Structure 1
Amino acid sequence: MYIEKLEKLTALFKEMEKAIIAYSGGVDSTLVAKIAYDVLGDRALAVTAISPSLLPEELEDAKIQAATIGISHQVVETHEMENPNYTSNPINRCYFCKSELHDTLKPLAKKLGYPYVIDGVNADDLRDYRPGIQAAKERGALSPLAEMNVSKAEVRQISQHLGLSWWDKPAQPCLSSRFPYGEEITVQKLQRVGRAEIYLRKLGWNNLRVRSQSDTARIELPPEQIHNFVANTDLESLVSAFQEFGFIYVTLDLEGYRSGKLNQVLNQEDLQPVKS
């Protein structure tokens, strides 16, 4: 089934003259960049937006992956941190983030002569609460993975089929997703969370989140890893490191990591998926 979808994605790009890929370095947008480059060659351009909500390590990964694929790669700055609609962290915060992204990419595409801006939204994203998808659609961005009904699992299958070594890379949404809705987002808080997650990754824990609530860090790991984490981590050193980053309290979420966990405070009306 996923081979069929790969063929359809390839055919879709063959209909395009040139395209810019909104490229975060995540597995979704990297697959789109790979297919775009395979079809369009130097008529495809991957563009990564940098801001305080992107880990420096994620930017480096994006650069390495783009170089491995062969696609031209450009970096632009976005300024969502200057928008109080974003920093106040409402439930539709992602809308203002993606608005800033595509308000940056759309004029860039026009200036460089690229008729299409393509993102990495997949079919599963349409069934989740993702207000940023609407912002992208309003600005004319296309979502081939979603259009061809490619799920996250199929993204990984196709990536592995194409020989992309990062096919099983954990999802890494922007750092702003680590804060409960309504808590103000600042550069200092983003840096604090980023440094904490980097610290844990260097210890070998890759699929994780450090949620931030006021002065408390809440570590989320897959449930099956919690016992091993407690048994084999120098907790005293960890707490000391997190306090140096700026946290006062350090906790471990006993439920474990679950994508979109902070959305559980929203009501059903808020959680309506984006209409296609």
Structure 2
Amino acid sequence: MIDTAGVTDRFAHIGRLGVAFSGGVDSSVLLALAARALGVDRVIAILGVSASLAAEERAAAHRVARHIGVAVVEVVTHEQDRAAYRANGADRCFHCKDELFTRIADEVVIAHRLDAVAYGENADDARRPDRPGARAAAAHRVLRPLADAGLDKAAVRSIARALELPCADKPAAPCLASRIPHFTDVTPEKLRQIERAEEELRRLGFPELRVRHHGEIARIELPSKDLPRAVTDPLRGAIRDAVMAAGFRFAAVDLAGVQSGAFTLPLVQGPHA
């Protein structure tokens, strides 16, 4: 296994730690390493719950935390009450993470006697220009042990496999709001549409996907290997039915495949970067 001392050494002077937790591979590895270093009774997993968190992701996060043996504290966030979040500019993630870390500071830190809060930014994330949530973490003095130890995504997945975490090969699952084009409002109705469409498509055998919300059109991103069967009967018709049942009128399969940062990167890098 990759040497994790660079991460665990950062817990040396911490009595009790809270980990901002999503159930994804990064925060799960951080949680597992913290639990090993400090003991499961000195670490809590803090899960932000709002309309932008799919019910499936919420349940999966609880399963991973149970596997690690750490208690989960749910925090209801209200980013939808923030006009800047609803406006959905390129900095939307800043307002979401600022809401989360504010709630953690106000509702969790004192109640659970935490000495510090950490989150699962890795070294690859730290180099990307489309991660405004990192500014919120810095403003709230949230620790980022994985990034500071220089662990990139490949290293994190390697550690997850060595620790036999159930999410070791879990595809990235950004929040539902990331499926809505910038400068169009984030609404609970749109988030529900996206969640329902993605749930149905997973049932059809597509575990990794994005449903991008373009008004009446659902633009479906799938890994390249899944594109041929997605446009071949009988799945082609089933995909269309699933999307229409979620409230869209049209279904479009994007030939470019799954695109991380599809909406934000062009705004922060420029369209030809």
- The TM-score by the shorter chain falls in which range? over 0.9
Q: CA deviation at 1:17?
A: 1.0
Aligned to 2:146: 145
- AA of the residue aligned to 1:99: D
Aligned to 1:258: 259
User: SS in structure 2 opposite 1:231?
Assistant: coil
Q: How many residues align?
A: 270
Aligned to 1:123: 123
Aligned to 2:226: 225
- AA of the residue aligned to 2:264: N
Q: Which segment drifts farther, 238-247 or 84-93?
A: 238-247
Deviations 1:21-61 (A, max 9, x none): 00011110011111111122201011101000000011100
User: SS in structure 1 opposite 2:263?
Assistant: helix
CA distance in 2, matches of 1:237, 1:124: 36
Aligned to 1:79: 78
Aligned to 1:47: 46
Aligned to 1:174: 175
CA distance in 2, matches of 1:81, 1:179: 14
Q: Is the 8 A contact 2:201 2:242 kept in 1?
A: no
Q: TM-score, normalised by structure 1?
A: 0.93
CA distance in 2, matches of 1:145, 1:66: 18
User: SS in structure 2 opposite 1:49?
Assistant: strand
Aligned to 1:23: 21
Aligned to 2:110: 110
CA distance in 2, matches of 1:195, 1:255: 23
Deviations 1:135-184 (A, max 9, x none): 11101100001111110111100111112132110000100000111111
CA distance in 1, matches of 2:234, 2:252: 14
User: SS in structure 1 opposite 2:218?
Assistant: strand
- AA of the residue aligned to 2:26: D
Change in 2 beyond 3 A, CA 1:233/1:104:
farther
Q: CA deviation at 1:212?
A: 0.7
Q: CA deviation at 1:113?
A: 1.4
User: SS in structure 2 opposite 1:260?
Assistant: coil
Q: Is the 8 A contact 2:229 2:235 kept in 1?
A: no
Identity of aligned residues (%): 38
Aligned to 1:65: 64
Alignment of 1:127-206 (within 5 A): 127-128=127-128, 129-206=130-207
Q: CA deviation at 1:260?
A: 1.1
CA distance in 1, matches of 2:244, 2:47: 32
Alpha-carbon RMSD across the aligned residues, in angstroms, is 1.8
